[in-house]
Structure 1
Amino acid sequence: MAGNSDPLTPRAKLAVTAGKAVAAASRAAGRGSGSVIGGRVALKLDPDLLARLAQNLDVTLVSATNGKTTTTRLIAEALGAAGPVVSNALGANMPAGITSALAGGSEAKFGVIEVDEKYLAGVARDTDPKCIALLNLSRDQLDRAAETRMLAENWREGLSGTKAVIVANADDPLVVWAASSSPNVIWVAAGQMWKDDAWSCPSCGGVMQRPGDDWFCGECGFRRPTPSWALSGDHVLDPHGSAWPIHLQLPGRANKANAASSAAVAAVFGVPPQVALERMYQVQAVAGRYDVVQFKERDLRLLLAKNPAGWLETFSLIDPPPTPVILSVNARGADGTDTSWLWDVDYTRLTGHPIFVLGDRKLDLAVRLEVANQSFQVCETLDEAVQLAPPGRIEVIANYTAFQDLRRRVGN
C-alpha cells in the first residue's frame, strides 16, 4: 500500500483508468452516465478499490428509503464550506456507482455518499466512514427488498460497534432500533409522516404506543430517544437550544427534515448550522426532482415518489385544487415489479384535482383511483395528458423509471 499522499497502487490506478474509459465509451454510445458499468469494470480489476479511494477522505454515508439523494446533496453543499467534496450526486448508490464517483474526486477532502439500504453495512466496512446518516425505513420494492424489519436488523448488525458517528431520526422506530447498537449516536427529531411500517416493536414484536409525537413499546420498554437536534416548523434547533432558520428552494416538510439531519451531520465536521443552512439554499433541484420545466407551452413541476411514504409526502407539497395532476407509474427492474404498494397510498388526498394517468402500469393505478372515488383520465402519452389538462401549472408525480421517461420527453 502506498503512502498517505497517494493511496492508489499501480493496480488501483489501472482499474480507475479502465473504469473511466469504459464509462466514457458508454456515454458516447448514449447509454447514460456510464458510472455503474465503469465502476463494475474497475472493481473487477481491483476488488479493494473502493476502500483505497476512500482512504484519504472524511466519508459520510447517507441511507434511507426516501430522501437519500436530496440529503446527500444538502450535506455535500454544507461540507463544501470546509473543503472540496466528492459525491455520487446522481444517485448511483450501489458499490459500482460509488466507486465511480470517488474515482473522480482525487482532490477532495470529504466524500458524501448515498448508499442503497441493502448495501449500507458492506459500504461502511469498505469506506470507514466518520459519519452515517440514517433517515427512515419504509416498505419499497416489495419484490426485491426484504421487509423493513429485516433491513433494520441488517443495519443494526452491520453497524454495531462502528467508530462512525451515527446521525439518526429519533422519530422512526426502525431507524432507532438499527442505530441503537452503535456507541455514538446523535438523535434528530426529523418527524415521520408515514407510520404504517412501524406499528409493531422492532425489538420484541409488541404493539407500539404512539401518544402525540412520542412512541414506545408497552411490553419491552423500547422507546423514542431524547433528540439533541430537532426540526421545529421552519427552524432547526441545535443541541444548545438555538433555533436556526431553514431557507430552502426545495419544497415541503420532508426537505426541511432532510435539512435538519444535514445540519447535524455538518456539525460533526465543524461546520456551524448557520453556515450549513445558508449553503443548502443553493440547491434548486436534485437530479431533476422539483424542477419546473416548460413543455407544450405549460409549466410542469416534476416530482419523484417511489413508495407509499414518498407519495404521502409528495401529496402534501402540491398546489391546492383545481391544480391538474399527472401520475405516472412503471414497474420495471429499477422500480420493483410489484405494484401492490399502490393500495397503501391514500389517493383521497387528490380529491378536487383533475387527474391524468400514464405509464406502463397506468391500468393498475386506474383501478386504485377508481376504488378511491377519484375522477381521472387514462392517457397514452405525456403530450396527450398535457393537452387535456385544464389551465395552470401541472404537478407531475412519477415513480423512478417513469420519472426518467418524463425527463427524457421534456428534454430535461
Structure 2
Amino acid sequence: MPLRAKVASSVSRTAAALSRAAGRGDGSVIGGWIGLKIDPDLLAHLSAGRAIALVSGTNGKTTTTRLTSAAVGVLGRVATNSFGANMPSGHTSALAKAGSTPYAVLEVDEHYLAQVLESTEPHVVALLNLSRDQLDRAKEVAMMAQLWRAALVRHTNVRVVANADDPLVVWAATPPGDPARGINPPHVTWFSAGQRWHDDSWVCPECGSTIQRSGEQWWCTGCPLRRPEPNWVVEDEGVLDPTGAWHKVSLQLPGKVNLGNAATALAVAAEFGVRPVDAVSRLGIVTSVAGRYAQVDKDGRNIRLLLAKNPASWLEAFDMADEAPTLLSINARDPDGLDTSWLYDVDFAPLRGRQVLITGDRAYDLAVRLDVNDVPFQHVRTFDDALRSVPPGRLEVIANYTAFQDIRAELDRVI
C-alpha cells in the first residue's frame, strides 16, 4: 500500500484498540472513521488483493455474513465485520484489524452497497431481500431496488447471488431491458429460501402491474417478470445444490429463516470454489451472532435474545420463539428510526395465549398496538422487573436495535 494508506491503517487499528480498552465500544466504527479521514481511499487500498464477498439486504445480513465467513473459512483466513458495523467505516476497520487475509466477507448496509462496490471491487455480491425499514429516514423499497440495479449495471463482472423469491431483488439483479431475456443472466445465481413477508412486493417494479402468487411461484400480470428457477433451494432440513445433491444443514440457530441464510452462505462460498460438502459442517459452529439467538441463564431463567427491527423481522422472530413467557422491548432512538407506526404492520396474534411483558422507551406505543390486536400484556419498567415477573424457565426476549443493546448491557454483554 502507499505510505499514507499504511499510516492510516496503523492509526485505525490503534484507535480501535484504544476504544476497546477504554470500554467505549468494540472499535468497529471509530477506527475506520479515523483511517478514512487520513486516507479517503483506505478501503480501496485494504481491499486490493483480497477475494471479497458483500452481503446486503434489509434483514439477515449479519447472520448470513457470519455463516458465509464460516463457510469460506474452509479456504483460509477470512476478514469480516462480525459486529455488524456495515458502513464504509466499519468495513475499513475490519480489514485493517484483520491484516493480510486472502478473503473477506463484509455485511453492507443496503444504502451503501453502490459505494462499497466501487471501493472493494468484490468477487461476489449476495442480495438477500428488500422490505420497509425506518421509513422516517430510509428510502422506499422500490427506490432501493432501483439503486441496486443501477450499481450492478456498472459492475457486470461481479458475480451475484440473489433471492429468487423476492420480486424486488430479482428485478434489481436483472439487467435493464426485456425482463424475459434477462431473467436468467449468466452472472446471477438464484437461491430460494421462501418469503413469508409479501407486503412490500405486490407491485411489479418493472411495469407497475400486480404481482400474483401461487405457492412458491410469483409472476407479474403485466410484463414477463417472474420468479426465476433457483439454483440453490431449501428443502426439508437441508439444501439442494445446483447439481441436485441434498445436504443436511444442522444449525444451532433457530428458525427456518436461518436455514435460508445458510443456503445463501453455501451459494456464496461456492462462488469461491468451496464445495458444499466441505462447507456445511462449518455452519453448525455458529451459535450466536453479535448477541442474536444467544441464551443466558440468570436467576433461574434461561433468556434468549432475538433481534427484530421491522415488520418482516418480527414475523420471523415469532416463528423462532418458543411458547414461553415473552418480553417485547421497543425504543425509537436514532439507530432504530424515530417512527414507530410500523408496529401496525406487525400481526402480534401469534403471542396470544402466552405471558407477554413490554418495556422500552416506546412501550406505550406497543401497548396500544397489542390492545388493538387483543394480546394481553404487562408493562414492566426494567429488565430485572421482567425477570421477577416470570416463573423459572425460558424467557424469550424480542427487541429492536437499541433495546436489544440495552438488554445486552443488563446482562453485562456476556453474549
Does TM, scored on the shorter chain, surpass 0.5? yes
Counterpart in the other structure of 2:345: 344
Is 1:120 the counterpart of 2:113 in the alignment? Answer: yes
Deviation at 1:290, TM superposition (A): 0.6
Q: Show the 5 A alignment for 1:27-176.
A: 27-162=20-155, 163-176=157-170
Helix, strand or coil: the match of 1:288? coil
Is 1:177 the counterpart of 2:178 in the alignment? Answer: no
Counterpart in the other structure of 1:406: 407
Q: Conserved in 2, the CA contact under 8 Å of 1:60 and 1:113?
A: yes
Deviation at 1:183, TM superposition (A): 5.5
Is 1:268 the counterpart of 2:271 in the alignment? Answer: yes
Ranges in structure 2 where 5+ consecutive residues have no aligned partner: 176-184
Q: 2:403 corresponds to which letter in structure 1?
A: A
Alignment partners' CA distance in 1, 2:279 and 2:20: 34
Is 1:227 the counterpart of 2:230 in the alignment? Answer: yes
Deviation at 1:359, TM superposition (A): 0.5
Deviation at 1:156, TM superposition (A): 0.4
Alignment partners' CA distance in 1, 2:79 and 2:17: 19
**Deviation string, structure 1 residues 337-391 (Cα, Å, up to 9, x no partner):** 1111111001001111100001111000000000000110011001101111134
Counterpart in the other structure of 2:335: 334
Of 22-31 and 227-236, deviating more is: 22-31
Q: 1:380 corresponds to which letter in structure 2?
A: R
Which of these residues, 306, 316, 320, is aligned with residue 319 of structure 2? 316
Counterpart in the other structure of 1:392: 393
Kindly, what percent of the aligned residue pairs are identical?
55
Counterpart in the other structure of 2:243: 240
Q: Conserved in 1, the CA contact under 8 Å of 2:300 and 2:393?
A: no
**Deviation string, structure 1 residues 309-362 (Cα, Å, up to 9, x no partner):** 000001011112xx1000001111111111111110010011111000011110
Counterpart in the other structure of 2:281: 278
Alignment partners' CA distance in 1, 2:278 and 2:188: 23
Helix, strand or coil: the match of 2:18? helix
Q: Conserved in 2, the CA contact under 8 Å of 1:15 and 1:42?
A: yes
Counterpart in the other structure of 1:355: 356
Q: 1:46 corresponds to which letter in structure 2?
A: D
Q: 1:281 corresponds to which letter in structure 2?
A: G
Helix, strand or coil: the match of 2:280? helix
Alignment partners' CA distance in 2, 1:192 and 1:118: 22
Alignment partners' CA distance in 2, 1:402 and 1:264: 33
Helix, strand or coil: the match of 1:286? coil
Alignment partners' CA distance in 2, 1:107 and 1:98: 14
Is 1:305 the counterpart of 2:308 in the alignment? Answer: yes
Q: 1:345 corresponds to which letter in structure 2?
A: V
Counterpart in the other structure of 2:254: 251
Q: 2:58 corresponds to which letter in structure 1?
A: T
Is 1:24 the counterpart of 2:27 in the alignment? Answer: no
Q: 1:351 corresponds to which letter in structure 2?
A: R
Alignment partners' CA distance in 1, 2:125 and 2:304: 31
Q: Conserved in 1, the CA contact under 8 Å of 2:348 and 2:370?
A: yes
Counterpart in the other structure of 2:326: 325
Alignment partners' CA distance in 1, 2:62 and 2:221: 35
Of 175-184 and 45-54, deviating more is: 175-184
Alignment partners' CA distance in 2, 1:260 and 1:403: 26
**Deviation string, structure 1 residues 87-139 (Cα, Å, up to 9, x no partner):** 00110000001100001222311010000000001101110000001111111
Deviation at 1:294, TM superposition (A): 1.5
Q: Conserved in 2, the CA contact under 8 Å of 1:161 and 1:183?
A: no
- With normalisation by structure 2, the TM-score equals 0.95
Counterpart in the other structure of 2:178: none
Helix, strand or coil: the match of 1:313? helix
Counterpart in the other structure of 1:373: 374
Q: 1:180 corresponds to which letter in structure 2?
A: T
Ranges in structure 1 where 5+ consecutive residues have no aligned partner: 1-7
**Deviation string, structure 1 residues 228-248 (Cα, Å, up to 9, x no partner):** 111112111111111111110
Counterpart in the other structure of 1:3: none
Of 152-161 and 111-120, deviating more is: 152-161
Alignment partners' CA distance in 2, 1:53 and 1:141: 31
Q: 1:343 corresponds to which letter in structure 2?
A: Y
**Deviation string, structure 1 residues 40-69 (Cα, Å, up to 9, x no partner):** 111111111101100010000000111100
Q: 1:358 corresponds to which letter in structure 2?
A: T
**Deviation string, structure 1 residues 291-311 (Cα, Å, up to 9, x no partner):** 110122211011111110000
Q: 1:178 corresponds to which letter in structure 2?
A: A
Of 383-392 and 166-175, deviating more is: 383-392
Which of these residues, 214, 218, 226, is aligned with residue 215 of structure 1? 218
Give the root-mean-square deviation of aligned CA atoms.
Answer: 1.1
**Deviation string, structure 1 residues 222-275 (Cα, Å, up to 9, x no partner):** 111111111112111111111111110101100000001111111111111121
Of 299-308 and 288-297, deviating more is: 288-297
Counterpart in the other structure of 1:5: none
Helix, strand or coil: the match of 1:104? helix
Q: 1:303 corresponds to which letter in structure 2?
A: L
Aligned residues: 403
Counterpart in the other structure of 1:4: none
